[in-house]
């Protein structure tokens, strides 16, 4: 895929959704951090359902830490891997209080030193909470990048490196959200909605899904 086609793809994605953002619900960088930790191998919908009950009760490092693992579990037990996540969240809160004056750090290295925070989570927080041009490659972005030809790669790290290099600078801040949402609702895994895709004519995917037969 050439640079001109790639630019047109992001121009169209921006036109369709000028102000994209995460579907996780949060009101502070700390809430976003906890929500992203909880979202690993879980849906944003399931995380939002849990945090709608948790955050009105506890939404600071001190408040959540005071709950302890056993006190936190009832709020998040509907989310997959909740026991491990509860331990990670409590330890993260402790580290934020003792090492960062209860503030969410603004560097990838400091974020990734927190339990349950990998590169993808750190990139989400840096991008969404602090407005840094990072791209967190999840399954949706990995699929869209490879299927469309925007930035093909054999693993998430390779795709991230290519996206950071190939996405035009003016689109870099929001590229993360456009690609996730496109993968979540249009370029879906099993049967992409190519017939309803604003970039279908620019996409390298050869086996495009035709318009469904309404008679069936």
203 marked as part of a ligand binding site: yes
Q: Give the Cα separation of 91 and 99 in Å (integer).
A: 12
* H or E element at residue 203: none
Q: Which of 5, 85, 101, 120 is catalytic?
A: 120
Q: Give the Cα separation of 141 and 114 in Å (integer).
A: 24
Q: Give the Cα separation of 99 and 88 in Å (integer).
A: 16
Is residue 138 annotated as part of the catalytic site, yes or no?
yes
Q: Which of 138, 154, 162, 165 is catalytic?
A: 138
* H or E element at residue 146: helix 139-148
Contact 205, 148 (CB under 8 A): yes
Helix (H, G, I), strand (E, B) or coil at 115: coil
194 marked as part of a ligand binding site: yes
Q: Give the Cα separation of 146 and 49 in Å (integer).
A: 32
Q: Which residues are annotated as part of the binding site?
A: 187, 194, 197, 203
Catalytic residues: 120, 138
Q: Which residues are annotated as part of the binding site for [4Fe-4S] cluster?
A: 187, 194, 197, 203
């Amino acid at each position: 895929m050439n640079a001109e086609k790639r630019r047109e793809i992001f121009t169209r994605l921006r036109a369709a959704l000028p102000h994209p953002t995460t579907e996780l619900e949060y009101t502070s960088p700390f809430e976003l951090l906890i929500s992203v930790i909880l979202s690993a191998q879980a849906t944003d919908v399931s995380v939002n359902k849990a945090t709608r009950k948790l955050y009105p009760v506890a939404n600071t490092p001190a408040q959540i830490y005071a709950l302890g693992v056993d006190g936190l579990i009832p709020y998040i037990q509907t989310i997959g891997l909740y026991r491990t996540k509860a331990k990670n969240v409590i330890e993260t809160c402790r580290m934020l209080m003792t090492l960062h004056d209860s503030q969410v750090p603004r560097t990838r290295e400091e974020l990734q030193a927190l339990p349950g925070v990998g590169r993808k989570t750190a990139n989400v927080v840096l991008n969404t909470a602090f407005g840094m041009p990072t791209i967190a490659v999840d399954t949706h972005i990995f699929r869209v990048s490879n299927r469309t030809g925007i930035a093909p790669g054999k693993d998430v790290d390779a795709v991230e490196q290519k996206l950071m290099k190939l996405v035009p600078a003016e689109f870099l801040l929001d590229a993360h959200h456009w690609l996730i949402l496109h993968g979540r609702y249009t370029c879906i895994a099993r049967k992409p909605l190519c017939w309803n895709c604003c970039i279908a004519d620019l996409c390298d995917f050869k086996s495009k899904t035709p318009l469904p037969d309404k008679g069936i």
